[in-house]
Each structure stands twice: as C-alpha cells, then as structure tokens.
Structure 1
Amino acid sequence: MAQFFKTNQLQSASISTCVGSFRELTIRPANQQKFLHLKGHYEIVSLTGTFADHGENNHIHISVSDSTGYTIGGHLVDGNIIYTTAEIVLLNNKGINFTRVKDPETTYYELEVLKD
C-alpha cells in the first residue's frame, strides 16, 4: 500500500466504497486481541477506513457475509485472498494530512487531521 501511495503521490486517503469478495480473510473482531481467520466465499458488504502517513498507517473496518447471509465484521488484517474482485474506490484528500498520534489514555494511535 505504501508503494501505491508513493507512486500516486498521495498524502492521505479514505475509502469511499468497495464491492468484491474473498475466499480467505482475517479480521480482528471488536475488543478482541485474537484474529479470526475465515475460509470460504465471503461477499464484502462494507469497507471503510483511512490511510495516514503516506499510506504507512491505516485503519480499516470490514463487514462480510457468507452464502447464508450471516454477516460478521471487524478490523481488516493484512494477508487476505480475493475471490472474484475487490473494487476499492479511494478518495485522495488533497490539502489534508492524516497522521496517527498515540492517545495517552487509551494508548491507541488515533487519527489526527491536519491542514497542509
């Protein structure tokens, strides 16, 4: 992802929309430390997130459904295998710089939006 940002000279971006499917994916469900690895055919029903620091830091949430309509979601983790396609539309946020700053209370790196 960082190479894509560098090649296209993106400072920060956000996901506008996505359609597609997976045959394997890994997510981290809400408030869990363990990853959940799913195998099978999963349709992407929602994908949203931000890319900060020239694509080096991202925060992406996903919801997928199986062939019965069962839907699950969480933080998208690297290393997923696309089944048919993943048409991801990114918005280039020109004039705005996304970065992540460690929150002293939660210790999570939270999005900070700065104007260029």
Structure 2
Amino acid sequence: MEATPLRLHPGDDLRGALDAALAARSCAAGFVLSGIGSLGAARLRYAGIETPATLLGDLEILTLAGTLSPTGSHLHMSVSDSEGRVRGGHVAPGCIVRTTAELLVAWLPAWRFTREFDPATGFAELTIRKT
C-alpha cells in the first residue's frame, strides 16, 4: 500500500479530481483514507433516491471515504452547513471546492477493483481481484 496526500484548490470537482488521480497513477485500486475541507456546492445522492440533491453555500467536509476504481468510484461524504446541519450520502460529480480540500488516498498496486453487476443486489458492486 502506498499513501498520497492531495490538496485540491478552489473550483476543483472533488470526485473528478479523485478519478483523475487514479488514472494518473495507472492504478486499478485505491481508497480514500481521509478528507476534510470546504465546498461551495455539494451533490449528494441519498439512500434509495436516484437523483442527487444539490447543496449550495459554505459547506465543511466532515468525512469522506470510499473506493476508487477505473470502472467507477464509490464515495460517501458528510458535510455541514453554516448552521451546523449535517447531510451525508453518495458523492456525485459537482462537489466543488470552495477554499481547499485535503485528502489522503491509499493505492493498492497488487489489487484491481472493478464494479460489476450483482444479481443479488441489482447494482454494480465492488469486485476485488489480485493483479
């Protein structure tokens, strides 16, 4: 396992930056160990709902975790607004960094993550293989 710290800048798309970091490393498996920072917009998909909700304003990233794979990343995040209200869900594209985001990502060069259809759940689920 190798760990890499990342700092995102104002205007960066959180999910897009993580997918780009995975592609730049030519790695097929990674996961987010830690993520904090601020967003001006968050797009979160709540459990059982297909369309992501858009949250706008000064938002703090409280938690960020998930798996990174070339066939689709699976990330969860919780954010708080300026009144301390917390929302959380699946990270969708469109989570835009306000001032900074500080991330720690672990790479697993001996593994390959893919997302494949699982008939038991009806969703593309994580499949783990040794490389």
Q: Same fold (TM over 0.5)?
A: yes
Q: Cα offset for 1:66?
A: 1.0
* Partner Cα separation in structure 2 for residue 82 and residue 6 of structure 1: 20
Picking from 98, 104, 107, the partner of 1:89 is: 104
> What is the CA RMSD across the aligned residues, in angstroms?
1.4
1:33-70 residue CA offsets vs partner (Å, 9 max, x unmatched) = 222111111100000110113xx410011100112211
Q: Unpaired segments of 5 or more residues in structure 1?
A: none
For 2:120, what is the secondary structure of its paired residue? coil
Paired letter, 1:14: F
CA contact (8 A) 2:44 2:91 kept: yes
What is the TM-score with the length of structure 2 in the denominator?
A: 0.80
For 1:33, what is the secondary structure of its paired residue? coil
1:47 corresponding residue in structure 2: 64
Q: Cα offset for 1:106?
A: 2.0
Picking from 28, 32, 35, the partner of 1:18 is: 35
What is the TM-score with the length of structure 1 in the denominator?
A: 0.90
Paired letter, 2:66: G
The answer to whether 1:7 aligns with 2:27 is no
CA contact (8 A) 2:22 2:69 kept: no
Picking from 38, 42, 60, the partner of 2:75 is: 60
* Partner Cα separation in structure 1 for residue 92 and residue 60 of structure 2: 16
The answer to whether 1:29 aligns with 2:29 is no
* Partner Cα separation in structure 2 for residue 28 and residue 3 of structure 1: 21
For 2:73, what is the secondary structure of its paired residue? strand
Residue-pair matches, total = 114
